[in-house]
Amino acid sequence: MQALTTRAKVAVDKKMTLKERLYLPAIMNGMMITLRHFFKKKVTIQYPEEKREFAPVYRGLHVLKRDENGAERCTACGLCAVACPAEAITMTAAERKKGEEKLYREEKYASVYEINMLRCIFCGLCEEACPKEAIFLTDRTVDSEYKRGIFIYGKDKLVEPMDKDKRIDVSKRQTTEVAEFKQHPEYAHNKLNTK
């Protein structure tokens, strides 16, 4: 059988010198390295009190956005679930009933929307696939827990609050083309369907 490369490593049976057999110089060398690092500036941060600055492109916890009138943007089209390489998103679609026009933007909405945070790889493909700009990855971190079942986030954790003061700003995640597109109310994407 022929090797895949032409590189070869020759093994040498070299005898150890007295200095190498004593191990004291190696131990002293290791102690010197430890002492040098002992007086350097520490890179560890004290997490809950001190928080590290994230990059503007950081992708963290998901949020299901509402429109300016407070209605959920998600229409349960399923494109985010199809685009997810980890298959972390599941949803169930339902029809909007009379009187729910202010709750849901379109006639179809997601009655169940779940993301398994243990499977999610935070790639951002779900927000790229969404035609209604309903899902975004924020700059927030996922809370740590002790049980696996808690990491399946439903609409109770994902949908942003109704209060305009508590809305989550995702303007950093939007491209300039999308921001310009949203300024035109004549496009069907930006109209509120209240039929």
Which pLDDT score, from 0 to 100, does residue 2 have? 61
Which pLDDT score, from 0 to 100, does residue 31 have? 94
Which pLDDT score, from 0 to 100, does residue 4 have? 64
Which pLDDT score, from 0 to 100, does residue 161 have? 87
Chain length of the chain: 195
Which pLDDT score, from 0 to 100, does residue 126 have? 93
Which pLDDT score, from 0 to 100, does residue 3 have? 59
Which pLDDT score, from 0 to 100, does residue 163 have? 81
In tens, the pLDDT along 41-96 reads 888 888 888 888 888 788 999 999 988 888 899 999 999 999 999 999 999 999 99
Rounded Cα distance, 141 and 143, in Å: 6
Which pLDDT score, from 0 to 100, does residue 187 have? 66
What would the two tokens of residue 191 be? 């109209």
Which pLDDT score, from 0 to 100, does residue 84 have? 95
Which parts of the chain register pLDDT below 50? 193-195
Rounded Cα distance, 126 and 88, in Å: 10
Which pLDDT score, from 0 to 100, does residue 195 have? 43
Q: Which of 154, 152, 122, 126 is nearest to 140 (CA)?
A: 122
Which pLDDT score, from 0 to 100, does residue 194 have? 43
Rounded Cα distance, 109 and 12, in Å: 70
